[in-house]
Amino acid sequence: MISLNRVMVLSPHTDDGEIGAGGTIARLIEEGKDVYYVAFSSCEESLHKGLKDDTLKKECIEATGLLGIPKKNVILLDYKVRYFYQHRQEILDEIIRHNKEISPDVVFVPSFYDTHQDHQVIYNESLRAFKKSASILGYEHPWNNLSFTTHIYFKLEERHIQKKINALKCYKSQDFRSYFDEKYIKASAYAKGVEVNFPYTETYELIRLLIK
């Protein structure tokens, strides 16, 4: 059994955590679990011209709030998008600090197979920070992954997927992206669910399992 009482979601950029684990977060909150969310960049440099620098931070607070994460549990950092590798040690120190303060049972991180350079940094530094203290699950972003190993299926109901969809709708600055499409989100969760006779699911790579 994976202990899920205290959960940390590491999101390289605002929205990554919701995309990879939004339905799971909704279910865990519903079950009374403590969920913490850390985003390492709000991608100011990637925003369309005319949008304010804090656009994604505001959208993230709204989105995570809809999923049920208390605002005090949402940590937004300011590393420059696509340049995490230049700050690897600082990011590791940051993750270690939050590990000591929060002491999560399980941590959701980008998958080993994720090709995005920032996502790779968060994956690698998470291993260093949590390998002796927490179970680690990798979430999937299919458009970034060359492959994906599905080890864990979280059973979700339609209400959990709808919360995920509603949360992602908060990211109005990103609604041009195809993977924000409601039909895609629902179809993907349904298709994965068919594999194990669940109504809907989000799937994860098992990176580290600690049974305490």
Contacts 24+ apart (CB under 8 A), 49-53: 51/173
3-state secondary structure of 173: helix
Q: Which CATH superfamily is domain 6-208 in?
A: LmbE-like (3.40.50.10320)
- Residue 47's closest CA among 1, 81, 98, 11? 81
Share of the chain above pLDDT 90, in %: 96
- Residue 42's closest CA among 1, 86, 11, 2? 11
pLDDT at 1 over 80: no
CA 134, 140, 146, 149 dihedral sign is: positive
**For the segment 40-89, what is each residue's pLDDT rounded down to a tens digit?**
999 999 898 899 999 999 999 999 999 999 999 999 999 999 999 999 99
**For the segment 139-168, what is each residue's pLDDT rounded down to a tens digit?**
999 999 999 999 999 999 999 999 999 999
Six token digits for residue 82: 């696509």
